[in-house]
Amino acid sequence: STGPLIVSFGEMLIDFVPTVSGVSLAEAPGFLKAPGGAPANVAIAVARLGGHAAFVGKLGDDEFGHMLAGILGENGVSTKGINFDLGARTALAFVTLRADGEREFMFYRNPSADMLLTPEELNLELIRSAKVFHYGSISLIVEPCRSAHLKAMEAAKEAGALLSYDPNLRLPLWPSPAEAREQIMSIWDKAEVIKVSDNELEFLTGSDKIDDAAALSLWHPNLKLLLVTLGEKGCRYYTKNFHGQVDAFNVKAVDTTGAGDAFVGALLSKIVDDQSVIEDEPRLREVLKFSNACGAITTIKKGAIPALPTTSEVLTFVKG
Ligand code: ADP
């Protein structure tokens, strides 16, 4: 695609998911490789919808790193912003939903290549050509990735990009909840579009009520659009002038991994063409209906990346 560019900054990794469901990691007889990482999912979501996307981040110069770069390329995502670290390996996550309903995680990140991206390595030419710059790396906490994250945001902003943020809170990665909250809030007030899940809203406000007051307590002057995703209930939206809810589509969800990333990719692919939709409630609601559809479709199929829809799939789905 040659349309306006969306750059998605952060990590890409491989989730190893047990070949049978409902077991602990220790009990798993084997694992399937599921490529993921929220920022990479968002880039692929945009490209599937026909948009112009680039992924910026670092991978290991190993079999997994090259496999991931290959997946981005095959999906039409520009890989010009990818660096390969010659020493560190690609991040890996082992994830399972146990029979007792608890999610169990184990990460290979000690440190992984994504955490080692330096500000000097950034492809600033690519970043400065972005119309929308999306971020939300789980490596925000560690240097040198933190400095790279901040420099990329600043370069994109200076060049006139709209900044979009998804905190992608994965608590097990942070030393403590207090530190997670502090790190997230340290870049909160730079973003013009923010998407949080209902769980993240609860965590960030410290309140167990997910209502308008809780959402609006997180408002800041640079913000143009705040979205709270509510899974099977859809999403709520907040702007300077109005707020409301767009209900979800009714589907039989089998795997919700990547639904939030599909939602964000869909939203950004519309905003990048015309930012004025943010100020026009009827048009914004149409965009969010499209985003909800992309999220819903992603839950019908297993996996994140394999489930991300094309525009024609979305249109067929919406017509029902
Ligand atoms: P996140 O992955 O960030 O937690 P959600 O799970 O809320 O985000 O999903 C993002 C969007 O995907 C929702 O706002 C909704 O539109 C859609 N979605 C997610 N789960 C379902 C579901 N079970 N049924 C229908 N739509 C869903």
Ligand 1: distance of its center to the CA of 147 in Å? 31
Ligand 1: distance of its center to the CA of 256 in Å? 7
Residue 258 class from Cβ within 10 Å (0-12 exposed, 13-18 middle, 19+ buried)? buried
On whether the CB atoms of residues 245 and 235 are closer than 8 A, the answer is yes
Q: What is the pTM of this model?
A: 0.96
Ligand 1: distance of its center to the CA of 156 in Å? 29
Count of beta carbons in the 10 Å neighbourhood of residue 108: 16
Selecting among 15, 85, 166, 261, the annotated active-site residue is 261
Ligand 1: distance of its center to the CA of 95 in Å? 19
Question: Ligand 1: does its nearest atom lie under 6 Å from the Cβ of 264?
Answer: no
pLDDT score, position 1: 72
| ipTM of this complex prediction, to 2 decimal places | 0.98
Query: Which residue lies with its CA nearest to atom 16 of ligand 1?
Result: 292
Length of the chain: 320
pLDDT score, position 271: 98
Query: Which residue lies with its CA nearest to atom 24 of ligand 1?
Result: 232
Question: Ligand 1: does its nearest atom lie under 6 Å from the Cβ of 231?
Answer: yes
Determine the residue type at 37. Answer: G
Structure tokens at 155: 């370069």
Per-residue pLDDT for 192 more than 80? Answer: yes
pLDDT tens per residue across span 107-149: 888 889 999 999 999 999 999 999 999 998 887 888 999 999 9
Phi, psi dihedrals of residue 29, rounded to the nearest 5°: -75, -20
- Check whether the bond before 144 is cis (ω within 30° of 0): yes
Question: Rounded to whole angstroms, how far apart are CA atoms 168 and 66?
Answer: 24
Question: Ligand 1: does its nearest atom lie under 6 Å from the Cβ of 295?
Answer: yes
Quote the mean pLDDT of the chain.
94
Instruction: Decide if 280 is catalytic.
Output: no
Structure tokens at 154: 């600043």
